[in-house]
Amino acid sequence: MKDKDQRKRSASTIQRSKRLLSLGMVLSLMASLFAGCSSSADQAEASGGTAPQGDVTLVIGAYSVVKDSVQDIIPLFQKKWKEETGQTVTFQESYEASGTQARAIVGGFEADVALLSLEGDIDKLTKAELVNKDWKDKPDGGMITTSVAVIGTRERNPLGIRSFADLAKPGVKVLYPNPKTSGGAQWDINAIYGAGLKESEREEGKKDPAFAKAFLESVHANIESLDKSGRASMAAFEYGVGDALVTYENELVARIKKGAKYEVVVPDDTILIENPAAVVDRNVDKHGTREVAEAFLDFLWSQQAQEVFAENGFRPTNPEVYAKFEKDYPVPSGLFDIEYLGGWGEVRDTLYSKRGIWYQVLAGI
């Protein structure tokens, strides 16, 4: 039995890695073309300058939502690194949905630093022995930003939605992405399920998974569209579909900053979203970029970088920076984290396994 399991896993990894290898090849081809273009410019700069001990290139594999922040942080880091070491750091960046990015890295995309939307995706990298198991020893358990799951409504919140329970009211059209197609959407479903657990605690005095499942079902009964990704949900909402969408606070804040007229409803009971980053150990050792990669990762916790995150809608993990932005990011009274649901392992086994709770809700069993 175990043997069979093993074989199954290895067969599917081979299949997957084959597919991703080709993707990785295309990506790295593009990356090398890109590098070819930029390195000549760097050389010109270097020849006139301070005689650095060779310039260095850092490959970033990140999830798409964090793109704006990373692109603001990179120049800050380049400046700092140049001042400290005289080296010029060139960046190659790739932005994909978190799960896709994780699979691309496993399949051969040689990222030095990975920024992903959930721990489970970094776990894919540790499982492939790309990232060492000690990645959580960094500050805040390896998490660079946090956010909360929120509800976005139309201007002035015409339906008076205050909590996830309000989404179950008759006639409310709800949007959220499908965690089957978007790993990041697991946060949204975790939030609704967890809010159900909280409710059961208040009513019955203990966490009741059956109650939470029924709660999730009642919200799901109002689903208008189960989109491919968080971005697709947002797009549908922008085209006028639905009354409310469940998404990350930072997604919604970023939209509103660009002029969209939505309301951010932070429910009292909601989940703390934590986004990890890690150095991809095997790749930095191969490229000889460990020093600069570690420095970049540490820089993500610096005051400067954390402020950039905060301005882009994330809740900073750095307490000083958080204090500065506190009024923008009030802490909801019933905030819980993934441990409240038993941790990622438990969530993967009960909610998102093959015939797990999410499947049952989808299939209406």
Partner 1 sequence: MQTSWLRHKGWTYGFRTTVLLYFVVLIVLPITGVYVYAFSEGWTPFWESISDPIAWKAVLLTLKLALIATVINVLIGTMIAWVLVRYRFVGRTILNSLVDLPFALPTAVGGLMILLLLGPNSWIGGLAERLGFDIVFHQPAIVIAMVFVTFPFVIRAIQPLLEEMDGSAEEASYTLGASRSTTFFKVILPQITPGIAGGAMLAFSRALAEFGAVVLVAGNIPAKTLTASVFIYGEVESDNNLGAAAVSVLLLTLSLLILWIINRVQRRGRRE
Interface residue list for partner 1 (CB under 8 A): 8, 11-12, 15-16, 99-100, 178-183, 223-228, 232, 236, 239-241, 352, 354, 359, 362-364
- In the complex, least distance from residue 15 CB atom to partner 1, rounded to whole angstroms: 6
Shorter beta-carbon distance to partner 1: residue 99 or 196: 99
Shorter beta-carbon distance to partner 1: residue 137 or 239: 239
Compute the distance between CA of residue 232 and CA of residue 245 in angstroms, rounded to an integer: 11
Q: What is the 3-state secondary structure (H, E, C) of 25-78?
A: HHHHHHHHHHHHHHHHHHHHHHHHCCCCCCCEEEEEEEEHHHHHHHHHHHHHHH
Close Cβ partners of 66 (under 8 Å, ≥ 6 residues apart):
95, 115, 117, 145, 275
- In the complex, least distance from residue 192 CB atom to partner 1, rounded to whole angstroms: 16
Shorter beta-carbon distance to partner 1: residue 35 or 362: 362
Shorter beta-carbon distance to partner 1: residue 226 or 297: 226
Two structure tokens written together for 322: 């958080």
Distances (CA, A) of 269 to 149, 151, 185, 266, 337: 10, 12, 17, 8, 11
- In the complex, least distance from residue 212 CB atom to partner 1, rounded to whole angstroms: 20
CB 140 within 8 A of CB 301: yes
Shorter beta-carbon distance to partner 1: residue 199 or 227: 227
- In the complex, least distance from residue 268 CB atom to partner 1, rounded to whole angstroms: 28
Two structure tokens written together for 272: 């703390």
- Element spanning 147, H or E: strand 143-154
- In the complex, least distance from residue 238 CB atom to partner 1, rounded to whole angstroms: 9
Shorter beta-carbon distance to partner 1: residue 165 or 241: 241
- Amino acid 284 reads V
Distances (CA, A) of 35 to 40, 65, 233: 9, 24, 35
Shorter beta-carbon distance to partner 1: residue 108 or 334: 108
- In the complex, least distance from residue 142 CB atom to partner 1, rounded to whole angstroms: 23
- In the complex, least distance from residue 109 CB atom to partner 1, rounded to whole angstroms: 17
- In the complex, least distance from residue 182 CB atom to partner 1, rounded to whole angstroms: 7
Shorter beta-carbon distance to partner 1: residue 154 or 324: 154
As a whole number of Å, the end-to-end CA separation of the chain is: 28
Shorter beta-carbon distance to partner 1: residue 174 or 279: 174
Compute the distance between CA of residue 14 and CA of residue 3 in angstroms, rounded to an integer: 16
- In the complex, least distance from residue 239 CB atom to partner 1, rounded to whole angstroms: 4
- In the complex, least distance from residue 254 CB atom to partner 1, rounded to whole angstroms: 21
For the chain, helix (H) and strand (E) counts, in that order, are 14, 10
Shorter beta-carbon distance to partner 1: residue 173 or 324: 173
Compute the distance between CA of residue 188 and CA of residue 15 in angstroms, rounded to an integer: 30
CB 245 within 8 A of CB 191: no
Compute the distance between CA of residue 122 and CA of residue 126 in angstroms, rounded to an integer: 6
CB 227 within 8 A of CB 247: no
